[in-house]
Structure 1
Amino acid sequence: MNQPVLLHIVERLENFLGKLPETIQKPILSELTPLKELFLQQRPPRLVLTGSGKKSAPELVRTLFGFSEDEQMPSPPMSIFRWQEVEIGGRGTISILDARGALDSAARQIQDELKRQPADMIFFLDEAAAKARARRGEIENLIACLDWNGAARAKTKVIGIAFSPSKARASHNREREEASHSRELASSLETALKTENESIQIVSFGSEKNLPDEARELMAILGRELPNAARIEMIRISRDRETQREVAQILVKSTTAICAAIGAQPIPLADLPILTTLQVVMVSGIMYLSGRERSLRAATEFIGAIGANVGAGMLLREGARAVLKFFPGWGNLVCGMV
């Protein structure tokens, strides 16, 4: 089920809502908004890289997003100072803008890219062995990127990525050194960005054996913090159970509220195609969150596979609802609850 099909369904639903009493139009439309943001306006998350330039962009993508050794990186070389889409393990796509080390000649190009497509999240990459002077310059570049992000700056979050040197990884005090580095980085960023009421989240990438766990932690943060339009793609990439459950609950809650409001209207039988379509879209959305392709056919087959007893129960329920609608007032109330 592609976005044009979803758009057609939403347009038909909005046309139907226009015929309902004004008292219930607003609550239903408020439930429809997150569904439109999550599934209709879905796009790759836009992430900006700032800070240390010691690691190449492909190496960073592999580390930050948990590429396994047997997974190949995308073949096209990653360009700097321009947005570039990168497929992650066949599960989804992210858009990366590498703004590290930008000189005056490249600043205008980065500014134009952020004006064309504002960033959702900015990563500040920091090496534990970095000199104070170098970090100050990198933070100034971070602040410039935030300013260039325009009106979206207020909603753009910064995440610090703390890398430990190989010596620290091998030392007995590794965990203590990593924690100290994370606190120092958080303090530097919070002071420079003047974040009074909000702390900067830091993800520390230290021991090689812990890299997959640290990548999952980062992707879970992104799944929670990204705008709705970019969350679905990141959730499919991360496969984080908590965020999958959260968005699935939003989908079920909104669909249920819309179906209840429509079902309570005195329109015998005419609402059956709308309610059935909404339920199929809900199942399709949950399947898509889990990593499967979005398909009305697959959702219909899944519903059909539940069993004949459930199908018979749905038939009896819809028949009872249709009969109840012939009784104004209390009949509409009851069938909206069925």
Structure 2
Amino acid sequence: MNQTALLHIVERLERLVTRLPEKIRRPVLRELTPLKELFLEQRPPRFLFVGSSKMPMPQIINALFASGAQEQKNVSLMPVHRWIDWNISGHGTISILDARDASDSASAQVEEDLERQPADIIFVFDDEDSDFEKSGSASLMLRLQHPFSGTLGDAKVIGVAFGSENRTKQLEERLKTQPAIRDRLLQVIQFTEMPSAEGQGFLSFLAEELPNPAKIEMIRISRDREAQHHVAQMLIKSTTAICTAIGAQPIPLADLPILTSLQVVMVSGIMYISGRERSLRAATEFITALGANVGAGMLLREGARAILKFFPGWGNVVCGMVAGAGTYAIGRAASAFFIGGVSLKDARRKYLADRKKASHKPHWLDGSMRASKQIE
């Protein structure tokens, strides 16, 4: 599923939301905002490299982000001092602007690229044989921090020291004396070939610090199941809230296409979070497989939900609860299957259990249910 298809669905949804009463419109738009940031405005995280290290870029990427990265690009053919996209082991993409050896003349080009695409995190490298304060990177950082330049934006800083732990402490102390860096500094790490667990922890830390549009790619790269489950649950709750509100509209049959689209987009989003590619077709097949043994029952329930809309008031609220319960159960089953790694049989069992539980106790979104009653 490409961004154009997702944009089309979101535009349809936003048009539908404008028809909702004011009291329910605002909560729905609030739920829609993080979804747009995470998926519609999604982009690779952008990392600026500055400092005194002369270590080849592939070796740094190999140590910080993933093994095997050095075979992915012919470094001699890459543009210098420009944003370059690196695919990390097929799980996601990061953008890097390497300005470590940028001279004064090259700094203008770096600044131009940063004005066009600001960095999310700045890595300040310091090897054992150089002095950061005397390097071109230090003056570059100061120029970027000029009051009339918004080039750094909200970028944060991570120091990377080569050598001993004492060298790492010295770098941290020096960075804290730099006005352009001090308030942005997240941590200073010692450059090593990180063990698998430690490396994954560092990637998870990066994902937490990145802005929403850049989080998804880093979560995919880190393969941190806890982070994947967290984002998936946020996606499930937001989609459930929206479906609950739309399902409670007093318009019989009119909302079925948009509800189905939202549920398919939710599942494809969970697939993407897990490290797979987005696919509306695969998401649709998964939803169909969940109801393979209860297809007739699902059809009857959806038909009953539409019929209830002909009874104003309480019928609208019940419809919203049914739509929300179904969406919540589908999302939970998708998360268990694509992220948790359970079998399709177990995912189907979870779907049925969660749908039954949610329909009796809509704990997934009490606030949205209260808001949906305003539609009566």
> Does TM-score exceed 0.5, indicating one fold?
yes
Work out whether 1:201 is the aligned partner of 2:190: no
1:185 aligned to which of 158, 171, 184:
171
SS in 2 for 1:53: coil
Opposite residue 265 of structure 1, the aligned amino acid is Q
Opposite residue 20 of structure 1, the aligned amino acid is L
Counting only pairs closer than 5 Å after superposition, residues 59-78 of structure 1 correspond to structure 2 as 59-68=59-68, 72-77=71-76, 78=78
Q: 1:35 is matched with which residue?
A: 35
Query: Which has the higher mean CA deviation after the structures are superposed, 2-11 or 323-332?
Result: 323-332
Q: 1:13 is matched with which residue?
A: 13
Give the distance between the partners of 1:120 and 1:147, measured in 2 at CA.
Answer: 18
Give the distance between the partners of 1:151 and 1:320, measured in 2 at CA.
Answer: 56
Q: Deviations over 1:185-230 (max 9, x none)?
A: 3332233137777752223333x4x344443233212211111111
Q: Quickly say closer, same or farther: Cα 1:154–1:187, change in 2 above 3 A.
A: farther
Work out whether 1:144 is the aligned partner of 2:143: yes
Give the distance between the partners of 1:149 and 1:94, measured in 2 at CA.
Answer: 28
RMSD, aligned α-carbons = 2.5
Counting only pairs closer than 5 Å after superposition, residues 43-192 of structure 1 correspond to structure 2 as 43-68=43-68, 72-77=71-76, 78-128=78-128, 130-131=130-131, 133-134=133-134, 138-147=137-146, 150-151=149-150, 153-164=152-163, 177-178=164-165, 180-192=166-178
SS in 2 for 1:262: helix
Give, in angstroms, the shift of residue 144 of structure 1: 3.3
Q: 1:326 is matched with which residue?
A: 310
Query: Which has the higher mean CA deviation after the structures are superposed, 191-200 or 270-279?
Result: 191-200
Aligned length: 321
Give, in angstroms, the shift of residue 329 of structure 1: 1.4
Opposite residue 9 of structure 1, the aligned amino acid is I
Q: Quickly say closer, same or farther: Cα 1:196–1:162, change in 2 above 3 A.
A: closer
Q: Deviations over 1:224-253 (max 9, x none)?
A: 111111112222222122221221111111
1:250 aligned to which of 229, 234, 241:
234
Q: 1:278 is matched with which residue?
A: 262
Q: Quickly say closer, same or farther: Cα 1:106–1:197, change in 2 above 3 A.
A: closer
Opposite residue 84 of structure 1, the aligned amino acid is I
Give the distance between the partners of 2:259 and 2:301, measured in 1 at CA.
Answer: 12
Opposite residue 300 of structure 2, the aligned amino acid is L
Give the distance between the partners of 2:96 and 2:86, measured in 1 at CA.
Answer: 7
Give, in angstroms, the shift of residue 333 of structure 1: 1.6
SS in 1 for 2:6: helix
Give, in angstroms, the shift of residue 152 of structure 1: 6.0
Give the distance between the partners of 2:224 and 2:159, measured in 1 at CA.
Answer: 21
Q: TM-score with structure 1 length normalisation?
A: 0.86
Q: Quickly say closer, same or farther: Cα 1:89–1:41, change in 2 above 3 A.
A: same
Query: Which has the higher mean CA deviation after the structures are superposed, 281-290 or 323-332?
Result: 323-332
Give, in angstroms, the shift of residue 124 of structure 1: 0.9
Q: Deviations over 1:311-334 (max 9, x none)?
A: 344323322322221221121122
Question: Contact conserved, 1:43 with 1:233, CA < 8 A, in 2?
Answer: yes
Query: Which has the higher mean CA deviation after the structures are superposed, 85-94 or 182-191?
Result: 182-191
Give, in angstroms, the shift of residue 121 of structure 1: 1.3
Q: Deviations over 1:122-162 (max 9, x none)?
A: 11112255447547x64443343455994363521111122
Q: Quickly say closer, same or farther: Cα 1:148–1:246, change in 2 above 3 A.
A: farther
Q: 2:354 is matched with which residue?
A: none
1:303 aligned to which of 280, 287, 290:
287
Give the distance between the partners of 2:181 and 2:57, measured in 1 at CA.
Answer: 28
SS in 1 for 2:67: coil
Give the distance between the partners of 1:102 and 1:200, measured in 2 at CA.
Answer: 24
Give, in angstroms, the shift of residue 53 of structure 1: 2.5
Give the distance between the partners of 1:151 and 1:133, measured in 2 at CA.
Answer: 22
Give unmatched runs, 5+ long, in structure 2: 323-376
Q: Deviations over 1:262-304 (max 9, x none)?
A: 1111111111111111111101100111111100000011112
Give unmatched runs, 5+ long, in structure 1: 165-176
Give the distance between the partners of 1:12 and 1:132, measured in 2 at CA.
Answer: 52
Give the distance between the partners of 1:196 and 1:139, measured in 2 at CA.
Answer: 13
Opposite residue 188 of structure 1, the aligned amino acid is R
Q: Quickly say closer, same or farther: Cα 1:262–1:302, change in 2 above 3 A.
A: same
Counting only pairs closer than 5 Å after superposition, residues 233-272 of structure 1 correspond to structure 2 as 233-272=217-256
Give, in angstroms, the shift of residue 66 of structure 1: 1.8
Give the distance between the partners of 1:189 and 1:200, measured in 2 at CA.
Answer: 11
